[in-house]
Structure formats: C-alpha cells, structure tokens
Chains A and B, each alone.
Chain A
Amino acid sequence: MIAENNSGGRAKGTGATIIRYRGVVKRYGAFTALDGVFLNVHAGEVVCLIGPSGSGKSTLLRCTNGLESIEGGDIEFEGTMLPRDERALRAVRQRMGMVFQSFELFPHLTAQQNVSEGPRTVLQMNQADANQRAAALLDKVGLADKAPNYPSALSGGQQQRVAIARALAMNPDVMLFDEPTSALDPETIGEVLSVMKKLADEGMTMVVVTHEMSFARRVGDWVAVFDAGRIVEQGPPRQIFDAPTTERTRDFLSHLGWSG
C-alpha cells in the first residue's frame, strides 16, 4: 500500500498542492488502466512519471485535463474537483498546458499562428496582442526566426518547442508533458529538454512523463514509478534512482540499464 506522499523530502515542496490525485481509477471496458493512483503535485514542482510501457502514465495525464473521464477516486485542481461538465472543463483546460509526444502542431498554420491560435480563439485576444505574445514565446523557446515557417518546414525538436510555446500562450498554471522527446532524433532531444529545464527554473509547475532518466534525476523534484496502473513507489529522485525501496522500481531501472 502506497501512502499519499506528504511534503517530507521534497525539494521545492513548500508551495500549495496544485493537483491532488486521490485513488484515481480509469477503465477501458474491462481493462483497468489506472488502479487507484495517489499523488500530489505542489506549486513550482517538477513531478516526473516513469515506468514501463502501458503502465498508465499517459492515461493519468489525459485524465488530469479531462481528455479522459475517470471511473473512481477524484482529481483536485487548485482546490476544486475536476468538473464533468464540458464547459467548466474547458475553463480548467485553459489553466493546464499540454505537450504531446507527436507534437500535434496544426499543420495548416505557421509557427506564429500555432502559438497565437489559443489566445485568439479561446481567450478572444485581439490579433495584435496575440501576435505579440506569440513572438515573445517563440523567442523564449529560441525560434524567433521560425515564426513564418509551417510545421512541415521545421525539425522535430523545433516543432516540439513550438508546441511548448503554443501551450504556454494560454498562461497555464501547470504544464503536462507526455514523453515530449520520445519521437525526436537524438540530436534534437537536448534542445527540448533545455527549454523544459528553463521553464522549471522559472518555477513552472510541471508533470512530465518521460523515459529520459537523466532529466528526471536532474530536473525532477519528485518521481513516481508506475506499474500496471499503480504508483509502486514515489519520492525524490535521489531515493528512486539511488536507493529504490521496491522490487518493481529496481526491475524497471535495471531493465533500462540505469546504473545510478
């Protein structure tokens, strides 16, 4: 039985709890993808979700912003339960940025338009302000010169950085990353990870599903290890990577060839 994590041992865990997962259950038909997940995410913290394929990491992220509904337990965001109603859910989604493994940039829009699309359509911001915000964010991810390019004319790493800028354009309180570097060539992984590191340093609250163990160790404040729809161990990276307390964590890490 894994107890709810408290702030003990958390590096930056002094902020308020922003997301609280309490016994979250998600089923697809007869299959249980999440089987009672407990986890707290505090303000300004980077929480990394690791674990074998199919263990439920993406599912938890998708439940967090309501792309999937849950069958049991509850998810609290900024002190209130995640609503079921679509309209209320949309308001919550605006507060959470999401970055996908496959980027999912809008191919019919330029980099600049991809970033300004959310403010324009969702926040009804005027064109000039939206453009200004987009330009600033593209600059922040190091792509000011790519503003007029369509996604098809960008490398994978550049596309993912535009996708990060697109999510940031809504001024979210939390950023959710689902394996942001898994679809990238090794040469471009670094540029995306360094943008994420910069965000973390600025105090952005982040939940990151990743197979980049060195990132989880270096940048993560808290690491949760998933297996078969449950968190089998969670704690600061030092504990998870140097002194794992469960067999499942040790198995998973040795399977990856992690050697501390």
Chain B
Amino acid sequence: MTLDWGVVWQNRDALIKGTATTILLTFATMAIALPCGAVVAVLRLYAWKPIRGLATAYVEFFRNLPLILVVYWAFYVLPILTGFGVSPLLTGLAALALNVTAYNAETFRAGINSIRRGQVEAAMALGMSRVQALRRVVIPQALRRILPVLASTWVSLFKDTSLVSVIAVTELAYVSMQVRAQTFRVLEMLTAMAIIYWLLGYPQAKLVDWIQRRYAVTE
C-alpha cells in the first residue's frame, strides 16, 4: 500500500475551514454553557421547589445521556419544535450546549456547595442579604475552586465537537471523513486529523495542568 500525503495538502482549505468550525463550536458552546450553567445551578440550589426539581431533572437527564444520542435527537426534534429547518451547525451547537450546560451546572453547584456554611453566616452577620453573600463571598471562592474542572470540561468539549460530524456539521472530523470518502485515502486523512486535533489539544491540556496547579485550593 502506497501512501499519498499530497491529498492532505490538496485539501488544505477544507481542512482549515473545518478546524476553524471546530474551534468556533468549542467557543460558542462554552459561551452559552457558562452563563446557562450558572443560572441552572442557582435555580437548582435556591429556586422555588418545583423549579428546583426541573433544573435537577434537566441536569441529571443530559449528564447521563451519550452526547451522540443528544446530537441525533436534536437533529430530528429541533425542526419539529421550531417549525423550520435548522442548520446542522446550529443543531450541533444546541446539542453540545445542552450537554455542556448540564455539566457546568453540576460543576457550579458542587463549587457553591463546597463553600462552608459559616462563610455565608459570617457575611449575613455583617448584615448582608443572601444575594450579597452569594455575590461577594460564595461565588468568588467557588469560581476559584471550579476553574480546574471547567478547564477539563473545555478540553473534553474540544474533542467532543467531533461527534456533531454525524449530522454533517462541516467541522474538522466531518471534513476529513468527506475527503477520505472522495479520495479513499483513509490512513492519510485519519493521520492528518489526529495530528491537527493533537496539536490543538495538547497545549490546551498543558494549560489545564497549569491552571490546576496554580489554583490548587489553599485555605
């Protein structure tokens, strides 16, 4: 079997576009999942009971479903729900955001719960309201603690974006597979794809390691 690496170079434009889409998906998903995760966590902790239950159900539902299933599900259900065709990219983004929001919500909740009750009491003893105590005392501390977890989620998300290729989102994995199908250059394309993911993912993983060391909790 002879290898023809030229195929990678010939398809560089498509690959670069795919890579850009992968990066865009990662950023866009987090941009949605961070604030939404925080809101869901706060609802889960402090809202009126039935709302709390809903938020919990949401988190437990999406955290325990395989992401690929959510992707397919969004692909078939979103058009029915919205009444019009949704682009694969938006569908993929919705699926990723639903999944990562659930993870982030759990991370935020655990972070908030990890702050001792005495901290809130100390804040309230000064005359702060619950909201002030949350804003000034609990959340700043919780954020530090969960930063490493959020960073790991980020790295997983970057790789998991490849799953939306099953609904033809033209991100890196889908583009690579398409070129493979057209040229039958399986090994070359898989290798190229692996190298691109790795080159982008490795620095992120190193950054996460650094964050985890830097923000290790000292009390």
Contact = CB atoms under 8 A, between A and B. Distances in A.
A102 B126 CA distance: 16
Given A106-B122, A152-B218, A93 B137 contact: no
B212 interface: no
A98 B121 CA distance: 10
Interface string B129-164: 110100011001100100000000000000000000
A174 to B, nearest CB: 12
Dominant secondary structure at the B interface = helix
A170 interface: yes
9 A-B pairs with the lowest CB-CB distances in the bound complex, closest first: A94-B127, A104-B122, A98-B125, A118-B126, A122-B127, A104-B118, A93-B127, A108-B140, A90-B127
28 contacts: A67-B124, A67-B125, A86-B129, A86-B130, A90-B124, A91-B127, A93-B124, A93-B126, A93-B127, A97-B125, A98-B122, A100-B118, A100-B121, A102-B118, A104-B121, A104-B122, A106-B137, A107-B141, A108-B141, A117-B126, A118-B127, A122-B126, A122-B127, A122-B128, A122-B132, A152-B218, A167-B125, A167-B126
Interface string A108-150: 1000000001100110000000000000000000000000000
Contacts of B122: 98, 100, 104-106, 163
A82 to B, nearest CB: 14
B13 interface: no
A107 B144 CA distance: 11
Contact of A90 (B119, B129, B140): B129
B144 A90 contact: no
Interface of B: 116, 118-119, 121-130, 132, 136-137, 140-141, 144, 218-219
Contacts of A26: none
Contacts of A20: none
Contacts of B218: 152
Interface residues of A, number: 27
Interface of A: 65, 67, 86-87, 90-91, 93-94, 96-98, 100, 102, 104-108, 117-118, 121-122, 152, 163, 166-167, 170
A164 to B, nearest CB: 12
Contacts of B127: 90-91, 93-94, 118, 122, 170
A108 B122 CA distance: 14
A58 to B, nearest CB: 11
A122 B131 CA distance: 12
A168 to B, nearest CB: 11
A170 B128 CA distance: 11
Contacts of B125: 65, 67, 93, 96-98, 167
